[in-house]
Amino acid sequence: METAPFFDDIARGPEGGRAFWLTCPDDVKIRLGHWPTQAQAKKGTVLLFPGRTEYIEKYGPAAVEFTRAGFDMIAVDWRGQGIADRAAPERLLGHVDSFDDYQSDVDRVMGAVEALGLPKPYYLLGHSMGGAIGLRSLHRNLPVTAAVFSAPMWGIGLSTFLRPVAWSLSWLSHSIGRGLAQAPATSRESYVQIAPFEDNQLTKDREMWDFMVGQLEAHPDLALGGPSVTWLYTSLRECAALQRLPAPQTPTLTFLGADERIVATEPVHALMGRWQNGQLILVPRAEHEIMMEVPATRADFYARTVAHFSTHP
């Protein structure tokens, strides 16, 4: 595998981090990041599926927690974000032709994980959009022993009034060849670079907010703005399709912030209510980024997640 750039200067991750280019069957290049554990008794590998706009280095602090606990960890720049190939001529526009394309990324990632000989068993950790990608992957028999979801995007946070409007406008624009238009009420700029910390929708922790802002200031190519109308349309379709499927059998924990304002919370409650081997954990005073929240919230998340993975060897 070809070595890819890895921005260790901003990751705050453990030693040994590295990155690789992976080429998908449609010739799209994505980026795989890997942090190895230094523990002699390796417990397995955490497959961290990031959310929309995210990138490998954002999860350096998560890698510290998991490698310390005895797990290797990987993360990925999905197509269209990070420094993976962007699908739109306008680099800051978040675009994908179809949500199915992300499963092509997953397949390529799993091939690389096997080729690198990373320790088994594998465990899924999906955040936000990565939660939608991860849930679809479970239905496609992703070979993981257990899963954890953080604020999974099993529905997009739209008001009752806006939901039919979003469906109709995104379908129309997509259908008439205007899928690269900016989704309504979104910006071509990265949220953390234009929003004030006060009352932001991601975290209540100022240090983690500054961490995210600083990463994009140091490496602007990692930044991504709002989505295209095609991304909106295909994501709405995918979320609706996932809601119609039965819950997988995989033992699962799902964390949802009590102050969540980005993903729709009703589908999370509904799916976890029928997930026989699943538990929904409501996190008090937490926004969308539970892994970027205040120290006590982060510590509780990692303790529960490591315990969950460790009890399913």
| DSSP states along 119-146 | PSSEEEEEETHHHHHHHHHHHTT--EEE
Range of the domain at 301: 2-310
pLDDT at 161: 44
Burial status of residue 147 (CB atoms within 10 A of its CB: 0-12, 13-18, 19 or more): buried
Q: 309: number of CA atoms within 13 Å, CB side?
A: 29
CATH number of the domain to which 122 belongs = 3.40.50.1820
Write out pLDDT tens, residues 230-277: 998 899 999 999 999 999 999 999 999 999 999 999 999 999 999 999
State the Cα–Cα distance between residues 257 and 237, nearest whole angstrom. 24
pLDDT at 187: 86
Helix axes 162-175, 229-243, angle to 10 degrees: 120
Neighbours of 97 (CB within 10 A): 17
Neighbours of 217 (CB within 10 A): 13
Domain count, the chain: 1
Q: Which residues of the chain have pLDDT under 50?
A: 161-162, 164-165, 167
pLDDT at 167: 47
> In what order do the strands lie in the sheet containing 278-283?
2-3, 18-23, 29-35, 71-77, 44-49, 122-127, 144-150, 252-257, 278-283
pLDDT at 181: 79
pLDDT at 168: 55
pLDDT at 183: 78
Radius of gyration of the CA atoms of the chain, in A: 18
pLDDT at 180: 75
Q: Which two tokens stand for residue 93?
A: 């526009």
pLDDT at 108: 98
